Chain A
Amino acid sequence: EAGVTQFPSHSVIEKGQTVTLRCDPISGHDNLYWYRRVMGKEIKFLLHFVKESKQDESGMPNNRFLAERTGGTYSTLKVQPAELEDSGVYFCASSQDPLLSREKLFFGSGTQLSVL
């Protein structure tokens, strides 16, 4: 079974540029999450999709961040324009069905974003 895949693994951009991160969840997982970890801090929740719908986007920092999941398959997270404080590791995770107590998160390897 293929795991959660993220692309790119690393991205180095200049302040003001745009970056798009992609996540392919495990096939059949309706629940897709984006998290971010800034060095030394917690893995912080950004948002949660159930299929193509945004279930919870309370963790999105501001309107420079836009997440989509058209068709309920892969998801993209776009940062435009990027700021220095956006640097960190962006994790995507998927799960089967929290409503049935299948909350186990399967993480991708993350995208290391560096904004210079």
Chain B
Amino acid sequence: GENVEQHPSTLSVQEGDSAVIKCTYSDSASNYFPWYKQELGKRPQLIIDIRSNVGEKKDQRIAVTLNKTAKHFSLHITETQPEDSAVYFCAASRPGGYQKVTFGTGTKLQVIP
């Protein structure tokens, strides 16, 4: 089955700096890569996703990149703000509809004001 590895497990950055979280996946058939953010005491929520037919996707201060050959994808947050502090989970799933989403172990991001 799919295996998703995520690094780092914790990340502290100064407000205004950039943060990068990296993930690798094992199943070359995976084609959908979502990122979920879980703020303290709240539920995980989808913040951005990317499909294997594109290499990069941006949404304001966040962007995801995908390297299919190397089987890794990354989340980039620019101009970090205190409200970006949360646990971020990457995930991967295969095509074909009812394929389970496999999550990484999470990255706890702390943005220091």
Interface residues on B, range: 20 to 34
Contacts of B44 in A (CB 8 A): 43, 91, 105, 107
Contacts of B106 in A (CB 8 A): 40, 42-43
Contacts of A42 in B (CB 8 A): 4, 6, 89, 102-106
Contacts of B104 in A (CB 8 A): 42
**In angstroms, how far is the closest chain A Cβ from the Cβ of B1?**
8
> B86-112 toward A: CB 8 Å interface, digit per residue (1/0)?
000101010001111111111000000
Q: Are B46 and A105 in contact (CB under 8 A)?
A: yes
Answer yes or no: B45 CB below 8 A from chain A CBs.
yes
Contacts of A108 in B (CB 8 A): 43
Q: Are B105 and A41 in contact (CB under 8 A)?
A: yes
Nearest residue, chain B, Cβ from A56:
B100
Answer yes or no: A104 CB below 8 A from chain B CBs.
yes
Q: Which of A40-73 contact B (CB under 8 A)?
A: 40-45, 48, 50, 55-56, 58-59
Q: Are A48 and B103 in contact (CB under 8 A)?
A: no
Closest 4 CB pairs of A and B: A99-B97, A43-B103, A107-B43, A107-B44
